[in-house]
Every structure is written in C-alpha cells, then in structure tokens.
Amino acid sequence: MKRIDLNCDLGEGGEHDAELMALITSANIACGGHAGDDESMRHTVQLARSHAVAIGAHPGFKDREHFGRRELPVSPDEAFALVAEQIESLRQIAAMHGAKLAHVKPHGALYNQAARDPALADAIARAVVAIDARIALFGPAGSHLIKAGNRHGLKVVSEVFADRNYRSDYTLVPRDDPRALITDGAVAVRHILAMVSEGVIITVEGNRLPVVADTVCVHGETPAAMTILQGLHRSLTQAGIEIARADTGDHP
C-alpha cells in the first residue's frame, strides 16, 4: 500500500494550530528564527505529543518582518550556525517533554535558496548531522537539499506542496505571482492526487513532470488549509493510500 505523510508549519502564531494538528502526521515547528519562541515551542511540542504527530524543527532566517520569506545573502558557515542553533533550541525543549525530533525542514527563503545552492544545502545537512544524525531532512523532491542529505547519510523525505503551484523547472511559482497559491480545496486535492497517485506535477505551463512525493505540506496560514486537509484525508483514503508519518526513525 502506498503511504503519504501530511505536514504543516506550526508554532508560527496562527490561530488554528490545534485544529490543524489533528489532521496531520508531521509538524514543522518554528524555533526562534522567522517566528516562535520558547513558549510557543513548548506549547506546540505538547500539542504534537497529544496527537502522536512527529515533531520537526523549522529553522529560518531571523527576519521576522518578512516572515523569513525574503532571500538574504548567507554563507555556508552562517547557515550552519543559524540552523544548528534553532534545531538545538527545539531539541532541548522537546527533550524536556520526553520527545525527540523526527525531522528538520528549513523555512521559506532559506528552504528555497538551499534547494538551488549545493553549498548552502550541504551546510544545512551538516548542521542536522551535528545535532543528531538520526534526524531526517525534508526538502523539495530532486533538490540539492535532498542530494546533500543523501551525501551525509541522513534519511531524506521528498516534499511536495498542496497549496502552491509549480513551474516547469520544479520551482514553486513565486508568491508575488497571482498563480502562486492554490486557495480552492478541491483543486489542491486534485493537484496532490496527481503527485501521489500518478507521480507527476502538473505545472502552470501545463507540463507533466515526474516527481517523488513522500510528504505533502499544507501551509497553516492558507485560508483553505482545513478544507484541503479534510479533502486529502477523504481522497487519499478512497485511493487506497495510507496517511502515516514519514519513516524517519525516532519519533516522539
């Protein structure tokens, strides 16, 4: 039976974390960079534990004004330090609640830059190894993040997005493009079923690109997030696809 993980970026100040947590299998928790602080990390870890959801670190640029979505110049050494610091912050808080980190997923601009830049991707993979080599690394399917994780012996999890459109070079349509976001729940479900069931991305140009999908992200701030997740549960189950946490080794 095919299986798919459903993940969501949480602990970012959203109002619906509890409702979303009940519908996902992996949580990417903001850990003090683009959003989050010790209190929000503690609360979100406890919420994830109560729903048996895998706990992941979601490190991003320390650029709260732009929510970590503005691309910034960063050296590999700076990226290593930035990511290692944030992972460790969440790791310590999780440990206080008897939990372990299952994965790391970079946030926003850091994620997109590392997907394209092999040196930056390598620095992030090294930061994960430095904290705990049993932690998995989430990244865009076929990206430099996935390649770097493989080189460093990490478990890698290829990610696709339910609420974002793709271009024919496998990159996400930029957020300043009106085609970037998918806000219709039914359209998002069809978008993901093509990736999970058929193994293809249908791009905004109408091309069909082969893709590996291990986990599906639904952004918590997307207005239709609840509708999308509920629709995915129905449609994936009907298609005979199991919704389960990614096989990332240690779990809370």
**Class of 3-243 in CATH:** alpha beta
Instruction: Summarize the confidence of residues 11-38 as an average pLDDT.
Output: 96
What are the residue ranges spanned by the domains of the chain?
Answer: 3-243
Which helix H or strand E contains 242, and what residues bound it? strand 242-243
Which helix H or strand E contains 202, and what residues bound it? strand 200-202
Distance CA 217, CA 234 (A): 16
Start-to-end C-alpha separation, the chain: 24
Residue 185 has pLDDT above 50, yes or no: yes
Buried b (16+ CB within 10 A) or exposed e, 160-194: bbbbbbbbeebebbeeeeeeebbeebebbbebbbb
Instruction: Kindly state the DSSP code that residue 181 receives in the 8-state scheme.
Output: B
pLDDT tens sequence across 37-53 = 999 999 999 999 999 99
- 251 pLDDT band (50/70/90 cuts)? very low
Q: CA distances (Å), 182 to each of 85, 124, 161, 185, in order?
A: 33, 29, 10, 8
Rg over CA atoms, the chain: 16
Confidence (pLDDT) at 246: 86
> Please, are residues 29 and 8 in contact by the beta-carbon 8 Å criterion?
no
Confidence (pLDDT) at 248: 59
What pTM value is reported for the model?
0.95
